Amino acid sequence: MTKPVLYVIACAAGPTQYIDEGVRVAQANGWDVCLVLSPSAARWWEPRRGELVALTGHPVRSQYKLPWESDSLPKATAMLVAPMSCTTLNKWGAGISDTLAIGLPSEAVNMGVPVAAMPYFNQAQGAQPACARSIAALRSQGVLFLDGPDGYESHAPKQGNPEAFPWQSALDAVRNLVDGPA
């Protein structure tokens, strides 16, 4: 039986240094994982991108395709934007999809694809008034935004622990979104 396809969409936020771990956890949860990186996140992984291609068995995309190119990834069953940076949150909330990492989920959620997003930024970044507005804008479209006790709670500046990003919580939430609560 073919596995359901999860697009894991990662931004240039701390846990993306360990995105291979996030992919492995998602695979252990039964997903065929396609990894999409923001252009900034792709820079972080440029020297080791081949490892991510080998791990997922798919191209690792970070740029929009050219008009004459066809899709290189299978159709998504669901999408998880994680870790989501403050910048991507606010651009998406404002309707600016100038990266593939925003373009894919911003369209998908309005086409009935289950989309979840788990942020990773500090309390000083999150205190910007734009953040609350953007979170509300995403939720109003049906994005499952995973913050607070059931998701990721912002850390104090310089106090983050990117290696401890709660991947399993994010994947449990995606599973509930797709299947309904157990």
Ligand X SMILES: Cc1cc2nc3c(=O)[nH]c(=O)nc-3n(C[C@H](O)[C@H](O)[C@H](O)COP(=O)(O)O)c2cc1C
Sites of contact with ligand X (CB under 6 A): 11-14, 38, 40-41, 85-88, 99, 120-121, 125
Shortest reach from residue 89's CB to ligand X, in Å: 8
CB nearer to ligand X: give 86 or 117: 86
Shortest reach from residue 111's CB to ligand X, in Å: 22
Q: At what angle do helices 167-179 and 19-28 cross, to 10 degrees?
A: 40
Torsional sign, CA 8, 102, 86, 40 = positive
Shortest reach from residue 46's CB to ligand X, in Å: 14
Helix (H, G, I), strand (E, B) or coil at 84: strand
Shortest reach from residue 7's CB to ligand X, in Å: 15
Measured between alpha carbons, how far is 168 from 29 in angstroms, rounded to an integer? 9
Shortest reach from residue 1's CB to ligand X, in Å: 34
CB nearer to ligand X: give 98 or 179: 98
Which residues fall within 8 angstroms of residue 95, CB to CB, at 6 or more apart?
Answer: 106
CB nearer to ligand X: give 9 or 113: 9
Measured between alpha carbons, how far is 75 from 12 in angstroms, rounded to an integer? 24
CA atoms in the 13 A half-sphere facing the CB of 4: 15
From residue 117, give the alpha-carbon distance in Å to each of 84, 106, 151: 7, 11, 9
CA 168 to mean position of chain CA atoms: 14
CB nearer to ligand X: give 105 or 175: 105
The two tokens of residue 37 are 């990186």
Shortest reach from residue 90's CB to ligand X, in Å: 9
CB nearer to ligand X: give 91 or 175: 91
CB nearer to ligand X: give 36 or 175: 36
